[in-house]
Structure formats: C-alpha cells, structure tokens
Amino acid sequence: MADHSVEELAPTPGDRATRFLKRADVKQTTLFFIFWTALFVVLGIYFYPKWMPTIMSVEMKSAEKIMIWFTVISAPIAGFVLAVATTAFMNRHRGDTPPPDGPAIRTNGPVVAVWTVTSLVFALVAIIWGLTEMNGQAVAAAKDAKSAITIEVRGSQWVWTFNYPAQGIETHELNLPIGVPVIFDVKSADVNHSFWPVQLGVKVDANAQVTTVIHTTPDKLGPIDVKCAELCGLYHAYMETTGEIQSASDFDAWVTAQGGHKA
Amino acid sequence: MDTSTENEVSGGKRLISAVAFLFLGVAVVSTVGFTLHSVSADSQKKAYATVNGTATVNGATLKHAFINESVFPDDATARANQVNRTNSHPWPFYTEEHLVLPAHSLITMTLKVYDSGEQLNTNYFAKVVGTVDNTMTVDGQQVSSLDPTGVQHTFTLHGLPTSTQDPLFVNVPLPKMSDAEMTANKYRTVVFSFVTGGAGDYVWNCEYPCGDGTYAKFGAVMGQNGYMSGKVSVVNG
Amino acid sequence: MSTLDKAHTSSRPVPNPKRSLITRLHMGTGVVVGIIFAALVYWALKNSLLTYTDKVADPLSPHDNNIVLLGAMFAWSIGFMAGIGAFIGPWRWLIGKDLTDEEILYLAGDGQGTKRYFKYCTDHKVVGIQYLVGVMTLLGVGGTMAMMIRTNLARPGGHFITATVYNSLVGLHGITMIIAMIIVATGPFGNYVMPIMIGAYDMAFPRLNALSWWVLFTAIPVLCSAWFLGGIPTGWTAYAPLSIQAGPGMNAFIATIIIFAVSTAVAGANITTTVIAMRTKGMKWNRVPIFVIGSTISVALAIPAFPTFMVSMIMTALDRTYNTGFFDANMGGSGWLYSNLFWIMGHPEVYVILIPGVAALMEIVPVFVRKPLFSYNAAIMGFAGIAGLSILVWAHHMYMAGWAPSLNGPFMVTTEMISIPTGLLFLVLIGTMWRGKPWMKLPMLSVFAFIWDFMIGGITGIYLSDVPADSYLHGSMFVTAHFHFTLMGAALTGAIGGLAYWYPKMTGRMLHERAGYISFWMVQIGFNVLFFGMFMAGAEGQPRRVVDYAALFRNSNLISTIGAYSVGTGMIILLWAVIHSWTKGKIAPMNPWGAKTLEWTVPYPVPLTNFDELPVITSDPYGYGKGK
C-alpha cells in the first residue's frame, strides 16, 4: 500500500517504491502479512476437513469446498489487516503520557480505491461461486428427477418418520440406496423442524400444511445421522435418528425386511 | 466529587477486595446454577426395573427385568386408584418418569392405562415398533398396531445416535378408554417386551397430542419434563 | 430548552417547587402504583373476561390465561410510568397548566445527589448512568445464564438441568443479551457523552429521554417473570407456531418485546433529532465525531426495524389469545410470515448492535495513536453502506426454510455485498494505526481485540452467506459461534473499549488499570477458546440449542465450557473494577487521554447544561499529527 506522505518526494515512482519497501515498518508488516496469511490458509485447509463428517454427496462436498476455499481466498485480506495491526502493536507506546503525534495522514485516495475494488472483487468471487454451485445443483436435480426415489419425511415433535411410497414402507430410520437420486418431500405434523441428513449436506425446514423439497444423491456407503436443526420444543435435542447408505441389493433386502416391496 | 486522596486504598486492601468480589461473583453464579439444578432434579425420581430370572430371545439367554407403570388422566383419578400423587397441574401423567433398566436384558413393561383419547398427529405412532416381534398385548390380546383415532397416549423411547451407545427405539400406542369406562374407573393393561443393548442414556415421551388446546395440542403438559416425558437410563450390572 | 437557557447562571438555587406532585414521585412510587394497577387489571380480567371464550368447545383453553397475564404485564408498565410521574407533563399540558420553569428544573435533577438516579430525571447524564447500570445488570443476568448453558453442555448426557429449564435458558439468555447489546453503547455513551460531543445543553427531548429509560426498566421485571411462568421453549427468535404452542412464560417474552420496542422508538427519535438539530455552531456534518455519526445511523436504522418485531409479537399474542391464526398454517396463516417479519427486524438489528461499538473504537484509535482518523469519509460510507444493505438481506436467515428457494440467489448477492462496507471499517481502523505508535491503554487494547474477533466473525460469515455452505452449516453451532464473534467479539469489545475510554468522564475517576488488563486477557483468550470449540462442534455437525449431544462432540464442547469459565471470571473482575473504581479509583484529570472532542473540555461533575457557553467549532476533532 503506497504511502504518499513520505517527507521528501523522490524523483521517480520507482525510487519512491524502493524507498517505501526499505522502510522498517513496511518490512515488519510484510513479514506479519506472510505469517497471518499462511496461518489462515493452514487453519482452513487443516481444520475443516478434519472436523467435518464423512462427505457422502456432491452437496456436502461443495459446502466443504466453500469453507476451505473462501478461507484461503480471504487469507491475504485478513493477513494484511492483521499485519498492519500487529506492526502497530509491536511499535506500541507505554507509559502514562500519550505518545508523540504521528504523521497527519487524513486519507489516501489510491489506497481507499484499491481496497474498495479488492473487496468488491472478493464479494463478486463469493457471489459467482455460490450462484454457480446453486445452479449446478439445480440443473442436476432437474435432470435426475425422473430416476429419483421419493421419500416423504415427516417431522413430529420429537421423532422423524420416513414414508417410502413406492416401496410401501414407513420407518423411523433413513436408509437410502447409493447412487440413486433422492427427493425428500418434507412436512411437519406440528411446529417447524429442520430436516438435516448431516453427511448429505442438505437441509430444509419442515412446516405444517406445506411440503418443502430438497434433492441429493448419496455417493458413498456408510451410516448417516439425521438431526433436527430448528428448535422445536422440549426434546429438540433428541430429535435425531440414524440411517445408512446401502448398496442396491442391501437396500432391497432392508425394504423387504420392513415388509415392503421393490419399487 | 472530592479531589482528596482519602479514598485511595492500599494495594493489599484492593487485592483482598477484588478476590473477595470474585469469590462472591462465582458464589452467586453457582448458587443460581445449583438452584436450577435442584429445581429440575425434583421431577426426576428414578424407577428401577427388577430382574427376575432369565429369558431366551432369538436364541440368546438374557436377564429378564420387569417394570410397571400406570398412566392417569389426572391426580384425582390416580388417588381413586390408590396412587398418591399431587401434581401442580391437572394434567395426565405416567407414574414413573426416569426409568432405569439393566443392559443386555429383556425388559417387560406393564402399563395400566386409564385415559381417554382421540386422533394422533402422526399415524406412524399407532404401530408397535421395536418390541419383541413388534407386538404387544392389550388385556391379554396380541396386537401389532391400533386404530390411529383410538389412542390415548404412546410410550415412545428414543435417543441420540452416538458411537458410544447402542440404538434403541420403542414405540407402543396405548388404547383409549371410552368415557363410560373412564367414569367407572376402569383400565386396560398393556404389556410389551423389548431388548436393551449396552449402557446408554435415552429419553421417552408421549406422541399423542395430549397437551392443551394450543397449537397441535403439544403445549402445556407436552412442553415440560415429567408428566408425559422423561429419561431412560440403561445401566450395566 | 429555553428554560434551561434561562437557568443558566453561575449560581442558581436548587429548585424546590414545594407543592408539586413531581417532587414526591420516584422509582418506589412507580413500583407501588405499577403493582397495584397490575393487580387490579389481573383481577378484573380474571373475573369478567374469563366468561368471554367458549368454555364448552375447549374446556382446557389456555387463552384466557394469556389475556390475563398480558393485561397485567402491560398494566404494570403503564402503572409504573404513571407512578413515577411520566404522565404529569402531558396531563398538565392537556389541561392548559404546563409545568412551571421551577418544576422543569426540578425534573432535571440538579443538586439532588444520588436520589435523582431513582427519579424521572431528564438530565441526559443521569439517563446515561441509568442505562450503564441497566446494561451491566442485563449482561450479568445474561452471562449467568450463559454459564448455566455451558455447564450443562460440559459433558454429554445433559445431566445438570432438564430440557425445560435448558430451553428457557437458551431463549432468555438470547433475548437478555440482545436487549443489552442493542443499548450497550447508545444507551450509556449515546446519552451521557454524545450531547456533550456535539456541543448541546441536553437532548432534544429530555422528558422522552427519561421515558425511554424507565419504559425499558419496566421491561426487565416482565422478562424475569418468564422464569416463574414456566419459561419459554422457543429461543429468542420465538418462531411461530412453537411460540403459539408455548406456555404462559411466552407472554412475558411478548410483553417485553413490545415494551422494549416503545423504548427504542422513543430513544431513536430523540437521538436522531438531537444530532440533526442541536449541533453547536460550526459543527457541520463533516466535523461531527465519528461516534456520533455511528450512533445516529444505528438508531436511525432501529427506528424502521423494531416496529416489525413489535408487530410480529402483537400478532403472536393475538394468535395465542384470540386464535387469529396469523401464523397457523392450519388456519390459513403461515409460519413463514412470522420468520419474515422477525428477520426484517433481525438483520438490521445486528448492525444496530455492531455499528455503535465500531464507532466507539473509531473514536478511540485517533486519540491513542495520535493520528487523524484515516478516511473519515470511508467510515461514514462504511456505516451508511452497512445500514442500507442490512435492510435488504433478511431472508439469508431463511435460506433453508424452504420458503422461496428461488430468492436465495438474490439474497446471497445482497448479503455478500455487505463485505464491501465492512471492509471499509477495517480500512479506517488499520489506516489510522499505520505508522502510529499506539498508546497501550485499556481502550486501545479493545481495538486490537476487535480487529481479530471481527475478522474471524467476518470470514465465517462469508461461508454462511453462501447458500451451498449454509445448507450444511445452518442451524448448527457454527452459526452460534459466528454471531458471538460478531456481536460479542466485535460489538461488546467495542463497548468495553468505550467504557474504559469514557469512564473518567462519567465517574470522575480512572478505571482500575491492572484489573482491566487481567479481565481483558481472561475474557479475550477465554472467548476465543470458547468459540473455537463451538466452530468445531458446528463443523462436526452439532445442531444449536440442544440440551444434550452425541459423544462425538465431547471434546469440542469441553473446550467451549473451559473457555466460557474464563470469560465469566474475567467479566466478574471487570465488574469489580467498575464498581471499585467508581468510588475509590484514581481521580481523573479533565482530559486524561488528551483527546480533542468536546466532552473532554467540560469538568467533572459535568454541569447541568454541560457548557457555560456553547463552544464554536472550526475543525473536526481529529487534528492530530505533524506534517501536512
């Protein structure tokens, strides 16, 4: 960030830049900038994948990608802000009297302009990224709609139940076949709930009288958790159940065991 | 405001004042905490299942434990049936709230039910789920589901899925009594058995809308611990 | 104003209008009249209105009880205001016998010592202190509830308290803290300091000022009564239809919000009018201190925002009492209508909270770095941009509601745009620090803490505002951690900085420094540990507002609880410092920080009319620095 209040103006912009870069506080800020940027990059890349549960759908993958990449992209901005703050902190003044006055920099047009444009570009990246992902998911859902199985999810205070109309079964556990698109028609028997099959990375509220819909396609075998993500009264915390993403044959066997039939 | 230095206290005194204040603060917060703790612990009387012999389920020999409960429409009916209880509200209730069950056992639960009933909000809870053979007996007759319009309450046991405890889900609908039967103080006996896994913490609640006239009839009694909800602890030994 | 102008002589007697009723009224009479009126209304409604609803159709109808309780709560508030004398002025004006000059002076409370803090006192400095004590009380109550929540969540099993009590704790902690945070900077500093900063004798409407505080005061016992009415199960968002199903405690919540909305509307009108109309000679808009700008934008944003909360609560109350079905889908209403009304208030509201905190820190940085505020224009543009955009983003709280999925895109655009004005706020802070040597006093420490905390809050906010990530994170602990970083890490840190900064002017003494430092580090380190654990729990998939959780979340929750205890201990130490220093602290000089804003040109105790002669302003207050 160029600073135009250097006491004596150097003859050429090149000289000014060189002189600027040689300043002690500029060097210090640069070091802190590298440190903080690296720290945020590492935090994003290391912690989120470590913390998040198994990724079992495209939707979950895109949530994780956003969390990691937005951290990485914003790391230099965060790094810069924190670097300037840290440099100031390092050059702090102690004692019971105020420090001597600093340079009277009222503003700096180019800095403000560059800063504003940078944050605009950053906001646009976030917006375009999000819209592209949303669009991709919507297109995929529309394409998959024909081959999808439909599950009617019902939230009642404080138990989830799942109706598989094509299979003719109703359960309190959510088992799904791998690789088959699934449409959840979500409804509530009473207050608002939020249907959250955790590892599938999708979520939608359950409301009385209206059906809300979400789509996903499980792409990994294994157990899943189903939770309620909207405070729904006394036993909201216990409104959880489990399920499993199964191979086609295991799923059929499970349906039969529940008293249903192949769709 | 005076400008003298009279008010300035010595460092030692100030430290004592600060530490004392800190202790006072912690004490106040702790008092509030333990008051809340004891207030909410009151409704958590434990009821233990008694082990009596063994049973064979699917080829495995398990301890067989028994637990009995009654479901009353209010404490007046309870008193008429020699169950002394004074609740703060005229609400229906299960006589036991915190059930303690042995792990890896067959639990046989006997419920005497006295209340009237109507339509369920969710018909799924009219099915018997999670018991041995998914059935129960009502006055000795084996059934696997009830008419969803004829349920008085349900006993629905569930919990948090967690890697450290076995899943356990039981749903038993309780058949309603007609008004005439209620007036005559009659009851039905519902018996069912289920198998517990390892130790763990679960909850039970009623899925019949027996709250007051507010939204979905899940207000009042359904919104409070006790009465129509409670804990289930499965314990080793 | 003219009365005070006239009264403005160097030696004036303490006014003592003997026969006037106003001299005999105070908080005590307010409480008595409030309780009597509430009891009367309770009795009347219980005995006459009960026959109104159809007992045959629904013998267990809880609706009558709701009417009785709501009636009694509003009666308490109105009765208290009558008992403290709030209606004497309007009444005397109505019958053509307006208050005498002597009575007006009496209301200003000059020379009445501590007594005036318990009276309907129109002096903005008294109101400021009342707000400060009120805010600290609310923060203490809300903080205690936070400790209960974290204690219960220290280990899985939810053994410490039951679900009923826990759910109430979550909701009441939320609303207590939201109310506290809305007034945390504009209440104490906006009332005490701001009129002096702009060179005014008092606020534009001194009696409305007293009204706003005492109305707010009446909301506190109403809110507390929720505990004795069975609590609330809904969280502070009070989503319908859960709020319609809720027990009698919900009435306390509804009444609190309605009373609080009246208070903020009055305070907002008063502060904006004061800043627009009463700046001293020469204080053009580009010379107004940035804290004044920030507070004004904040309250101006609150004026259109809060009425929708009030309306949504009135509609909830009607649904609960007269079965109007606004939010009941089974009767043709919609729960989404509630969510929309709520968040149309709810999102501007978080910026109502944030902006004054940031503005206070912007006031602090130039003083402690001894440099002009970097780009005053960017600061104003930042605040105005945030305020403008914040009314267009509400439905990002409803991405996963299923309400209008095709609106998610537009709302994502507006929400992400907020990062631009927010970035300007950071630029102003670090631009001011650039090449400066910050004077490491308590207020300045808060600036550094703010930058770190708000950075974390901001970055996590970016993922939450992107729909595909929110589809995983919505309703999880991650959201809870995010908004605590912005509201507590940023806004509360800003307010604590403001407290350390203006404490000498408000009490005449310096805040105890060492206790302040110990508290600062305990709170900040504890805070970061606490919400690091909560980010972890959220990313792992723990829903928010749960009394119990699966064993998977054991470690993250334990980390949070340890952090929470550190925050709690640090806050108690800060409270000690504030109480101790108030009477026993080092006597403060008139301008301990060497600042250039007007409040530091008046002595302590600040005279009734602040200035002997209104100052004339020739420049903005940031003329620090050498060169140029």
Name residue A164's beta-bridge partners: A169
Please report, as a single letter, which amino acid is at residue C54.
D
- Tens of pLDDT, residue by residue over B151-185, are 999 999 998 877 778 889 999 999 999 989 888 88
pLDDT at C20: 78
- The interface residues of chain A toward chain B in range 72-101, judged by CB-CB distance below 8 A, are none
Chain B partners within 8 Å of C320 (Cβ): 214
CATH number at residue C220: 1.20.210.10
Give pTM, 2 decimals.
0.93
Touching check for A207 and chain B: CB below 8 Å?
no
User: Cβ A191–B161 below 8 Å, yes or no?
Assistant: no
Dihedral angle of Cα A19, A23, A28, A34, to the nearest 10 degrees: 0
**Residue C58 pLDDT more than 70?**
no
User: For the residues C79-103, what does the mean pLDDT come to?
Assistant: 93
User: Which residue of A134, A235, A237 is in closest CB contact with C468?
Assistant: A134
B4, closest residue in chain C (CA to CA): C587
Size of interface A-B (CB pairs under 8 A): 63
- Which range (B9-18, C283-292, C507-516) has the least confidence? B9-18
Cα C612 to chain center, whole Å? 32
Residue C268, token pair as written in the block: 């907002």
The total number of residues shown for chain C amounts to: 628
Whether chain A has a CB inside 8 Å of the CB on C49: the answer is no
Are the Cβ atoms of A91 and C412 closer than 8 angstroms? no
pLDDT surpassing 90 at residue B188 = yes
Average pLDDT over residues B94-110: 93
CB contact under 8 A, B223 and A191: no
With CA atoms as reference, the chain C residue closest to B88 would be C230
| CA–CA separation, A154 and A150 (whole Å) | 13
| C-alpha distance from C3 to closest chain B C-alpha (Å) | 27
Mean pLDDT over the full length of chain C = 91
Residues of A within 8 A of C451 (CB-CB) are: 81-82, 85
**B4 pLDDT exceeds 80?**
no
Q: In the predicted model, is pLDDT for residue C47 greater than 80?
A: no
Tokens of C46: 């219980």
Closest chain A C-alpha to B23 CA, distance in angstroms? 31
Quick check: C575 and B21 CB within 8 A?
Answer: yes
Mutate to test the interface with A, among B97, B125, B156, B158 (most CBs of A within 10 A): B158
Percentage of residues of chain C with pLDDT beyond 70: 94
CA distance A156 to chain B (A): 7
Question: What pLDDT is attached to residue C502?
Answer: 96
Nearest Cα of chain A lies from the Cα of B216 at a distance, in angstroms, of: 5
* Residue C565, min C-alpha distance to chain B (Å): 10
Question: Does the distance separating the beta carbons of A233 and C439 come in below 8 Å?
Answer: no
Angle in degrees, 0-180, between the axes of helices C554-584 and C124-152, rounded to the nearest 10: 150
Contact B212 C60 (CB under 8 A): yes
Beta pairing class for B188-195 and B60-72: unpaired
pLDDT confidence of residue C10: 42
Range of C425's domain?
A: 122-601
Closest CA to B206 of B167, B171, B165, B161: B171
pLDDT bucket at C321, cuts 50 / 70 / 90: confident
Task: Identify the closest residue of chain A to C330 by CA–CA distance.
Answer: A209
Please tell me whether residue C168 adopts helix, strand or coil conformation: helix
Residues 86-145 of chain A with CB under 8 A from chain C are: 88-89, 91-95, 98-108, 111-112, 115-116, 118-120, 122-123, 126-127, 129-131, 133-134, 137
What is the per-residue pLDDT across C252-262, written as a single tens digit (0 to 9) for each?
A: 999 999 999 99
For A87-96, what is the mean pLDDT?
A: 91
Mean local confidence (pLDDT), C520-547: 96
Kindly state the average pLDDT of the residues A11-39: 89
pLDDT of residue A3: 52
Q: Residue C83: how many CB atoms within 10 A of its CB?
A: 23
Distance CA B158, CA A61 (A): 30
Categorize the per-residue pLDDT at A4 as very low, low, confident or very high, splitting at 50, 70 and 90.
Answer: low
Chain A residues lying within 8 Å of C437, measured CB to CB? 88, 91-93, 99-100, 102
Give the mean model confidence (pLDDT) for residues B100-107. Answer: 94
Measured distance CA(B186)–CA(B181) in Å, rounded: 5
Average pLDDT over residues A179-188: 95
Which pairs with CB-CB distance under 8 Å and at least 24 residues apart come from C106-111? C106/C15, C106/C16, C106/C17, C106/C20, C106/C22, C106/C23, C107/C22, C107/C206, C107/C207, C107/C210, C108/C4, C108/C202, C108/C206, C108/C608, C110/C12, C110/C14, C110/C15, C110/C608, C111/C14
pLDDT for res A8: 55
ipTM of the prediction greater than 0.95, yes or no: no
Q: What are the tens digits of pLDDT across the range C486-498? A: 999 999 999 999 9
- Note the helical H segments in C466-602: 467-473, 477-484, 493-507, 513-540, 554-584
* Residue B9 scores a pLDDT above 90: no
What is the pLDDT, as a whole number, of residue C5?
44
Structural domains present in chain A: 13-91+108-142 (no CATH), 148-257 (2.60.40.420)
Has residue C56 got a pLDDT over 80? no
Residues 172-231 of B with CB under 8 A from A: 203, 205, 207, 209, 215-216, 218, 222-225, 229
Which of C59-73, C164-178, C569-583 is predicted least confidently? C59-73
Each residue's pLDDT tens digit, B15-56: 898 899 999 999 999 999 888 888 776 556 788 999 999 998
Query: B interface mutation test: which of A161, A232, A258 has the most B CBs within 10 A?
Result: A161
Residue of B nearest to C604 (CA): B1
* Closest-approach residue (CA) in chain B for A242: B161
pLDDT classification of C62: cutoffs 50, 70, 90:
low
Q: How confident is the model at residue C1 (pLDDT cuts 50, 70, 90)?
A: very low
- Residue of B160, B172, B228 for testing the chain A interface, max A β-carbons within 10 Å: B160
**Mean pLDDT, chain A, as a whole number?**
91
Give the chain A residue whose CA is nearest to the CA of B217: A190
**Chain B stretch 156-175, residues whose beta carbon is closer than 8 A to a beta carbon of chain A:** 156, 158-161, 167, 169, 171
Decide if B216 and A237 are in contact by the 8 Å CB cutoff.
Answer: no
Residue C547, pLDDT > 80, answer: yes
Query: What average pLDDT score do residues A220-232 get?
Result: 95
Q: Which of C58, C245, C561, C584 to mutate to test the interface with B (most CBs of B within 10 A)?
A: C245
Q: Mean pLDDT across the stretch C512-520?
A: 95
Distance between CA B196 and CA B54 in Å, rounded? 14
pLDDT band, residue C55 (cuts 50/70/90): very low
Query: Do the chains contact at C247 and B18, CB–CB below 8 Å?
Result: no
C230 in reach of chain A (CB within 8 A): no
pLDDT at C270: 95
Tens-place pLDDT, residues C148-178: 999 999 988 777 888 889 999 999 999 999 9
- Say what the pLDDT of residue B139 is: 93
3-state secondary structure of C440: coil
Per-residue pLDDT at B3 exceeds 50: no
In a domain, C75, yes or no: no
Is the pLDDT at C540 greater than 70? The verdict is yes
B119: nearest Cα among B172, B173, B171: B173
Per-residue pLDDT, C63: 66
Q: Cα–Cα distance between C577 and C510 in angstroms, integer?
A: 10
Q: Tell if the CB–CB gap between C162 and B44 is shorter than 8 Å.
A: yes
Asked if residue C528 belongs to a domain, the reply is: yes
Residue C609 near residue C8, CB atoms below 8 Å: yes
More confident residue, B84 or A226: A226
For residues B113-139, average pLDDT: 92
CB of C508 less than 8 A from some CB of B:
yes
Judge whether C1 is closer than 8 Å to chain A, CB to CB: no
Q: Which of C365, C413, C434, C596 to mutate to test the interface with A (most CBs of A within 10 A)?
A: C434
How far out from the chain centre does Cα C480 lie? Answer: 19
- Tokens 């080793």, residue? B236
Question: For C8-37, what is each residue's pLDDT tens digit?
Answer: 444 455 566 666 788 889 999 999 999 999
Domain assignment of residue C627, yes or no: no
C367-387 pLDDT, tens digit each: 999 999 999 999 999 999 999
Name the B residues in 65-124 with CB < 8 Å from any A CB: 121-122, 124
Band the pLDDT of B213: cuts 50, 70, 90: low
Question: HSE of C374 in the Cβ direction (CA atoms, 13 Å)?
Answer: 25
Q: What's the pLDDT score for residue A178? A: 95
pLDDT at residue C627 in the model: 63
C562 found inside a domain: yes
**Distance from C-alpha of C584 to C-alpha of C563, rounded to nearest angstrom:** 31
Please say if the pLDDT value at position A106 is more than 80. yes
* Probe site for chain B from A54, A152, A158 (most B CB atoms < 10 A): A158
Domain B44-235 grouped into CATH 2.60.120.260: no
User: What local confidence, expressed as pLDDT, does residue C285 receive?
Assistant: 94
Which residues in chain C are contacts of B8 at CB distance < 8 A? 584, 586
Taking Cα atoms as reference points, which of C158, C112, C142, C122 lies closest to residue C15? C112
Contact flag C62-B214 (C-beta cutoff 8 Å): yes
Which residue on chain C is closest to A186 by alpha carbon?
C402
- Is C572 an interface residue toward B (CB < 8 Å)? yes
Domain count, chain C: 1
Mean pLDDT of C268-287: 94
Answer whether residue C294 is part of any domain: yes
Among C169, C246, C605, beta carbon nearest to B223: C246
Q: What ranges do the domains of chain B cover?
A: 7-42, 44-235
* C358-365: average pLDDT: 96
